[in-house]
Amino acid sequence: MAAFSLYVLLFIVEGVDMAIIYYRLLLKVWTMVIIYIVIACGAVLLVCLAVDRLPKNLRAKKGVTKQEFLNLALDTLKHVRRPTQLILIPITVYSGLEQGFRGADFNAVSICIPWSVSNGYLK
């Protein structure tokens, strides 16, 4: 409802051109939102329908004993010695940094520039 009232306000204050631009922007945004929701629902359905349940003997136990914990830690350290496992460390660090950039800096820039143009700070 707030988007529609802003659309009407832009139509009254700025004129037809700005209202049409805003309407087209809203249409693009909601189209992307709907596409994202449909893909997310499809992913959930795919997982629900395609993934088999684990047999009872392979399901996780309630608690882990100290010996099982130590065995798991030793197995992890054995795998770290392999070169293919060592390659995963820088890839994981890069992925984390990339996601942080995308989540913070990229979104801030992609919002600030159109806002600055629409408010007359950039021409």
pLDDT exceeds cutoff 80 at 2: no
Higher-confidence position of 82 and 1: 82
Q: Distance between CA atoms of 99 and 106, rounded to whole angstroms?
A: 10
DSSP string, the chain: -HHHHHHHHHHHHT-HHHHHHHHHHHHHHHHHHHHHHHHHHHHHHHHHHHSPPPPGGGSPPS---HHHHHHHHHHHHHHHTSHHHHHHHHHHHHHHHHHHHIIIIIHHHHHHHHHHHHTTS--
Q: Distance between CA atoms of 117 and 123, rounded to whole angstroms?
A: 6
pLDDT digit string, tens, across residues 33-72? 899 999 999 999 998 898 877 677 666 666 677 888 888 8
Higher-confidence position of 60 and 123: 60
pLDDT score recorded for residue 18: 64
Domain ranges of the chain: 1-51, 79-123
